[in-house]
Amino acid sequence: IGNIPDAVLSCLKKHKDLGIHSEMFSDGVVDLVEEGCVTNTFKKNHPGKITGSFMVGTRKLFDFVDNNPFVGVGGQVDFIRGAAVGRDGKGKPILAMPSTTNKGESKIVPYLKQGGGVVTTRAHVHYLVTEYGIAYLFGKSLRQRAFELIRIAHPNHREELEKEAFTRLKCMPSL
């Protein structure tokens, strides 16, 4: 949600015959359809159709959806798990987010705040993407995951994350 989906989608303009099966989609999907990049032709489930739970965008997006059925309140974990077990074996469970909040706080943290909720378990997330790179997390130990996450955190927060990782994991993840 926010600028990340459209930023990622804008990088796909040189691709052809893409299929969209996502929890949410935004205006960037409309652009890809109009440019012929998204055809949904080769999808195993619902070929020729875009599948999603909800949309975030402008009037352009809602006009695009028009009278097509749309319902849902989200379902991140369902889409993450679905991507991992796709029939063609090519699905990739990917989460994308900015590395910081609007207030400059790191979104990559050593622990959850009291009362913080978990939507998708660490066992289900294969890739996490920020503006600083891609962390491949699947099958990694806690130390390896810490290293990968610190590597894609905002540079202003990496030193503090390293210290917390050392305190909690008794090692420097980057070593």
3-state helix, strand, coil in the chain (%, to 5): 35, 15, 55
C-alpha distance from residue 49 to each of 2, 20, 22, 24, 90 (Å): 24, 8, 12, 14, 18
Q: Decide if 131 is catalytic.
A: no
d(CA 120, CA 137): 13
Kindly give, in sequence order, each residue whose CB lies less than 8 Å from that of residue 74, ignoring residues fewer than 6 positions away.
23, 24, 53, 54
The answer for 158, left when phi > 0, alpha when psi is -120 to 50, beta otherwise, is: alpha
**Which of 23, 35, 131, 159 is an active site residue?**
23
Residues with a catalytic annotation lie at 23
